[in-house]
Structure formats: structure tokens, C-alpha cells
């Protein structure tokens, strides 16, 4: 695994003391989630996600962490028969309340998927996709937004001369950064990442991890990962899920040095999972 | 306990493979035989005049140009009818409809539509388009009837192409704040379009060769002029063959022309299929998902 020396341990944000900077963006209250009407996949979850932090969701396969992540942009709505109880507050508004349109929500809460999934379109048209949905068609504005987004995703230098080539010609790691750029072009407040490096090689993974560290400055990031070293490297807060329950959540440095629960300790020391 | 020797197992294998080979040879042989017969009998009739002139001397001389043009018009008309309707149905079935009894009924209906004999389509077209909508025997009525005939094929091809678009494209689009319609229009349809088009063109080969649906709705035995509007009747290759072979006054004298006409029709249909297959294989190569 490639690591930049500065990011071996989870860094705490250099500015300000935690108390002053802790603003909750997403809050989950007494949440239960069911597949097929009555199969309980998540039970009684309570969680606060802080602005401009990277929150890692870890846990063994099938523990519900990806399901949980997809609650935040209501992607679970696409699966018939699912049901949500409890509240998910985004800036104080319950996103499962009746007056919030998921289409609107997804513009503010972007997502990057496990497998890079650029559209079979040009690099430019991939990034411009979201803004165009909103009706932005001013060429200069679009150009600027595409450039800015690709720069934020650390891809600009590699693709600036081939913007109108097919996105499918890029390598897997480049495609995943393109997907990040595509999500950022919507200027979301929150970026959800569902195991974004699980399909990538170590070098591409290191690129993405470095990028996540930088995205923290402008965005709130929630990342699901299978890889505990990755959680330790990139995140400020870590939540450990086991069998549909949130076992514990704390600052990453604490979770990895002094976990309060035996299950957490067993998992992060590799005894199961 | 019956233990079989290796030799006997191999013999059985040879026998099975032999039967399979024979079956394959019969299929290919039938097609080859038909084409060979047509080429041998029909090639003599084909020359420039035959392809570009109108029929003369009670069909015993001259060419089949109006019938070629009529068949091309009818085929295009059928495609124009079936493609929008079939595409919309396929989008509904594969993107919007929720599984349930209604969807099951709709699918059953489409499957049954595919099994309806073509002469029934012809009579339906006669009753609805020709008589009820006062279109008369015309290019328009024939195109609509043929369009209905190939509708199940177009729906099937379109649904298959839509299903082949990976779910991850839809997820990506929705996650960027697209509505379902925006997702369909901007991501799903462009990705599926090559498959939809080639599937539909393959299906339309069938329409080009059908006689029954057009004999009451569009085709005429003899006209010297090419259609100048959709409301005129047209000559068409399949109907021309039917008439020459069964209803003409000089059936024996027109025999070479019959073979020539069949050869032209089958070349047209095979050409269409071949083009579709070529386009499809080229597009498959450029696809990377």
C-alpha cells in the first residue's frame, strides 16, 4: 500500500479546537431500515456527521454500511419494497419527510460508486452532465465548471488535452477521479463514497486517498471502506457497523487506538471480517 | 451395473455429433438450395431494363421498377410507424412499469400480437385504415398495417437493447440529480440506440417480404406511375410475385420474370439484414462496458 508519510495516522484538522468547528450536517435519529418490507437491515442507528470532516463507515461485509450510506441521497428508494423508520436530517430537514424531492436532494448530496461508472460520453460531457441537467448551457460557464471540477479531482493535467475523447478510454483510477469530478460539478455539500477504491490498484488508490484528504476542505465526505488502513489514513471520524447496528463511533485516532467495544477491537485487529 | 467402455462412449459421442451435424446441414442446405435455385433460374431475367423499367406487354416484358420502389416505401413507412410506437412501449415496459398483473397482461398481449397470422393483420388494416379511416388502398394504409405487424419485433429488440444498458449508468445519472426521464433520454436511450436500430432493421426484413398484409391495404396489380403521395396505391414485390405466379393471364411466359423478381426481393431482404448485422458487429467492437 502506498502511503504519503504525512497521512499514516489520521490527522486531526489543524485549525481550531473541535468544539468551535463541530457543525452537524447530517444527523440520523433512531433509524430502522427494512428490505422487502420486514427484513431489518439497520436497526436503531443514531449518528451525527460533521461538516468538513471525512467520516469513514467500516465493518464486515453485509453489516449494512453501504445501505446506510445510500440513505443519505435516497438511492435505496430505487429498490422496491424498502422502508425507512426514524429520521435523517440534512441541515435540520428530514430528507424522508414528504416535502423534500429526492431529485433535489441528490444535487446537494453527490455520490461516487464502488466501480467507476463514467457514461459512454466524452470526458467533458461526463463532467458537464449534472450542471446541464439544471439547465446550465452557457458555454463559458460550463467550461469553467468542468475545468474547476477536474482540477478538484486532480485529473485536469492528465485530461486537459483530451476533454472530448471518450471517458471509457481512461484507466480505472482516472475514471474514478472523473466520477468524482462529475459529482463535484454539481457543487454538492456532501460527497458520499461507496468503497471508491475497491476496484483500483494501489497507486490509483493512493491518488484517491490523497484527494479525499483535500476534498475535506470544501466538502463533507462520508466514505464506506473495507480497508481499515484506508479508514485510518483518510478519515477524521470512524463508525463501526456490525450486523446492522452501529457499534461505536468516535474520532478515528481513538477508534484505532482505544476502541471501547471488544467487537470493534477484534475487527480492526483483523480477528474477523 | 453396466460399465461402458471408452470405445462405446466415444461411438455414442460420434453418433450424437453426427446427428447434430446432419441437422445443421439440413438447415443450411435448405437456405443454400433456395438461393441457388433462385440465382440459377432468376439471374437470366435480371438486367438494367428489368430493374429500371415498368412492366410491359401484360407483364411478360419490361421491368419491375415500380414494385421495387413500392416495397422500399412500404418498408420505410412500416419502420416509421413501428419504431416510435415500439420504442415508447419498450421504454414503458423496461423503465417505467412496475411488475404486476397489468404488466403481465401487456406482455401477454404483445406475445400474442406476434403470433397473429399476417393475413389477419391485412384484414384488420383493411377494416380500420382503408375503410374506417377512409385512407383507401394506399401506401399509408399499407405502411401502418406492416408497422403493426412488426411492432412486437421492434418492442422485443428495443427492450433487449434497453436491458443491456448497465444499471450503473442509471444509478450514476440519478445520483447526479437527474429525473428518471432525464436519465432515460440522456443516458439510457443513447446507449441503447444502436441495438434498437439494428434489431428493428432485422425485424423489418420480414415486413418487406409479406404479401397478405398489403394485398388489401396498399398493393395494386399494375400502375405505371410511382407514388407521389402516401394516399396512392403502390406496386410491391411480394404482391407482384403473387400475381404473376397465380393470377396472371400468361403465367408460363412470365416464369423467368417471376424468378427474377423473387431474386430481387430476397437480395433486398438479405441486404437489409446484412447491413444491420454489420452495423451491430461494428458497434459491439466499440463498446467497452
Task: Give me the residues of B, 110-129, that contact A with CB < 8 A.
Answer: none
Q: How far, in Å, CA of B140 to CA of B230, rounded? A: 5
A247-271, pLDDT tens digit by residue? 999 999 999 999 999 999 999 888 7
- Residues 6+ positions from A61 with CB-CB distance below 8 Å: A226, A273
Alpha helix segments (H runs only) across chain A? 18-21, 65-69, 102-108, 123-133, 139-152, 156-159, 172-184, 202-215, 228-234, 252-257, 262-268
Q: Is residue A36 one of the residues assigned to a domain? A: yes
Is residue B277's pLDDT more than 90? no
Among candidates B169, B172, B178, B182, which has minimal Cα distance to A192? B172
Q: Which of B173, B177, B285 to mutate to test the interface with A (most CBs of A within 10 A)?
A: B177
Min Cα–Cα distance to chain B from A124, Å: 15
Q: Residue A26: pLDDT above 60?
A: yes
Residue A11 has pLDDT above 70, yes or no: no
Per-residue model confidence (pLDDT) at position B278 = 86
Instruction: Specify if A239 maps to a domain.
Output: yes
Question: CA of B188, closest CA in chain A: separation in Å?
Answer: 10
pLDDT bucket at B253, cuts 50 / 70 / 90: confident
A62-86, pLDDT tens digit by residue? 899 999 999 999 999 888 889 999 9
CA–CA separation, B177 and A9 (whole Å) = 35
Strand partners, B96: none
Closest approach of chain B CAs to the CA of A254, in angstroms?
33
pLDDT for the residue B150: 92
CATH of residue A110's domain is: 3.40.50.300
Q: Find, in chain A, the residue whose alpha carbon is nearest to that of B191.
A: A120
CA distance A11 to A53: 11
Count CB atoms within 10 A of the CB of residue A221.
Answer: 25
Could you report the per-residue pLDDT of B165-214, keeping only the tens digit for each?
999 999 999 999 999 999 999 999 999 988 898 888 888 887 888 888 99
User: Residue A136: inside a domain, yes or no?
Assistant: no
- The confidence score (pLDDT) of residue A162 equals 95
Q: Report the share of chain B in percent with pLDDT over 90.
A: 52
**Does A106 contact B288 at a Cβ distance shorter than 8 Å?**
no
In a domain, A19, yes or no: no
- Predicted confidence at residue B287, as pLDDT, reads 60
What is the count of structural domains for chain A? Answer: 1
Question: Looking at CA atoms only, how far is residue A19 from chain B in angstroms?
Answer: 33
Asked if the Cβ–Cβ distance from B176 to A129 is below 8 Å, we say yes
| Least confident residue range of A129-133, A180-184, B202-206, B285-289 | B285-289
Parent domain of A263: 24-117+188-268
Question: Which residue matches cell numbers 469553467?
Answer: A144
Interface test with A, best of B170, B176, B180, B194 (most A CBs within 10 A): B176
Q: Residue B274: how many CB atoms within 10 A of its CB?
A: 12
- Decide if pLDDT at A3 tops 60: no
CB within 8 Å: B168 and A113: yes
- Per residue in B125-170, pLDDT (tens digit) is 999 999 999 998 999 999 999 999 999 999 999 999 999 999 999 9
Q: Which chain A residues contact residue B190 at CB under 8 A? A: 120-121
**Whether B289 contacts chain A with CB within 8 A:** yes
For residue B1, pLDDT over 70 is answered with no
Domains, chain B, in order of start with CATH, read: 62-286 (1.10.3720.10)
Residue of chain A whose Cα is closest to the Cα of B287 = A120
What pLDDT does B44 receive?
86
B164 shares contact with chain A (CB less than 8 Å): no
| Stated pTM of the model | 0.81
CB B287 within 8 Å of CB B161? no
Q: What is the mean pLDDT of residues A52-62?
A: 93
Residue A169 lies in a domain: no
- φ and ψ at residue B244, rounded to 5 degrees: -60, -40
Amino acid at each position: 500500500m502506498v502511503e504519503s508519510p504525512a497521512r499514516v495516522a489520521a490527522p486531526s484538522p489543524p485549525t481550531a479546537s473541535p468544539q468551535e468547528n463541530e457543525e452537524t450536517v447530517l444527523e440520523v435519529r433512531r433509524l430502522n431500515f427494512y428490505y422487502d418490507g420486514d427484513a431489518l437491515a439497520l436497526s436503531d442507528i443514531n449518528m451525527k456527521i460533521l461538516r468538513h470532516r471525512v467520516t469513514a463507515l467500516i465493518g464486515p461485509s453485509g453489516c449494512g454500511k453501504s445501505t446506510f450510506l445510500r440513505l443519505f441521497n435516497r438511492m435505496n428508494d430505487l429498490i422496491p419494497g424498502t422502508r425507512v423508520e426514524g429520521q435523517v436530517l440534512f441541515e435540520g430537514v428530514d430528507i424522508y419527510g414528504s416535502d423534500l424531492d429526492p431529485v433535489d436532494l441528490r444535487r446537494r448530496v453527490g455520490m461516487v460508486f464502488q466501480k467507476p461508472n463514467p457514461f459512454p460520453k466524452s470526458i467533458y460531457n461526463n463532467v458537464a452532465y449534472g450542471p446541464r441537467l439544471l439547465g446550465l448551457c452557457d458555454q463559458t460557464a460550463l467550461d469553467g465548471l468542468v475545468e474547476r471540477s477536474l482540477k478538484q479531482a486532480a485529473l485536469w493535467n492528465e485530461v486537459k488535452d483530451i476533454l472530448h475523447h471518450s471517458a471509457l478510454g481512461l484507466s480505472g483510477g482516472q475514471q474514478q477521479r472523473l466520477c468524482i469530478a462529475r459529482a463535484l460539478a454539481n457543487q454538492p455539500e456532501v460527497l458520499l463514497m461507496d468503497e471508491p477504491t475497491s476496484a483500483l490498484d494501489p497507486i490509483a488508490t493512493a491518488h484517491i486517498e490523497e484527494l479525499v484528504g483535500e476534498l475535506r476542505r470544501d466538502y463533507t465526505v462520508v466514505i464506506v471502506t473495507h480497508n481499515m488502513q484506508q479508514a485510518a489514513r483518510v478519515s477524521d471520524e470512524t463508525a463501526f457497523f456490525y450486523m446492522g447496528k452501529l457499534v461505536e463511533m468516535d474520532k478515528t485516532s481513538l477508534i484505532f487506538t482505544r476502541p471501547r467495544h471488544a467487537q470493534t477491537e477484534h475487527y480492526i485487529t483483523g480477528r474477523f471480517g | 451395473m453396466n460399465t461402458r467402455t471408452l470405445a462405446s462412449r466415444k461411438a455414442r459421442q460420434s453418433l450424437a455429433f453426427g446427428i447434430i451435424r446432419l441437422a445443421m446441414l439440413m438447415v443450411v442446405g435448405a437456405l443454400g438450395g433456395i438461393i441457388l435455385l433462385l440465382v440459377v433460374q432468376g439471374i437470366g431475367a435480371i438486367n438494367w431494363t428489368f430493374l429500371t423499367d415498368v412492366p410491359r406487354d401484360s407483364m411478360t416484358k419490361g421491368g419491375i421498377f415500380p414494385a421495387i420502389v413500392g416495397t422500399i416505401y412500404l418498408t420505410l413507412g412500416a419502420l416509421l410507424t413501428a419504431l416510435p410506437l415500439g420504442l415508447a412501449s419498450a421504454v414503458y415496459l423496461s423503465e417505467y412499469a412496475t411488475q404486476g398483473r397489468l404488466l403481465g397482461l401487456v406482455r401477454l398481449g404483445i406475445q400474442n400480437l406476434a403470433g397473429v397470422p399476417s393475413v389477419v393483420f391485412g384484414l384488420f388494416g383493411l377494416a380500420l385504415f382503408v375503410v374506417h379511416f377512409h385512407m383507401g388502398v394506399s401506401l399509408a394504409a399499407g405502411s401502418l398495417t406492416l408497422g403493426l405487424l412488426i411492432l412486437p419485433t421492434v418492442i422485443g429488440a428495443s427492450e433487449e437493447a434497453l436491458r443491456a444498458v448497465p444499471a450503473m449508468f442509471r444509478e450514476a445519472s440519478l445520483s447526479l440529480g437527474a429525473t428518471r426521464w432525464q436519465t432515460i433520454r440522456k443516458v439510457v436511450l443513447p446507449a441503447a440506440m444502436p441495438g434498437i436500430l439494428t434489431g428493428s432493421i432485422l425485424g423489418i426484413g420480414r415486413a418487406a417480404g409479406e404479401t397478405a398484409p398489403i394485398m388489401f391495404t396498399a398493393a395494386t396489380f399494375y400502375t405505371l406511375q410511382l407514388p407521389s403521395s402516401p394516399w396512392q396505391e403502390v406496386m410491391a414485390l411480394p404482391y407482384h410475385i403473387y400475381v404473376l405466379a397465380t393470377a396472371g393471364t400468361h403465367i408460363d411466359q412470365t416464369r423467368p420474370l417471376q424468378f427474377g423478381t423473387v431474386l430481387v426481393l430476397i437480395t433486398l431482404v438479405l441486404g437489409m439484414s446484412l447491413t444491420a448485422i454489420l452495423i451491430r458487429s461494428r458497434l459491439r467492437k466499440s463498446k467497452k462496458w
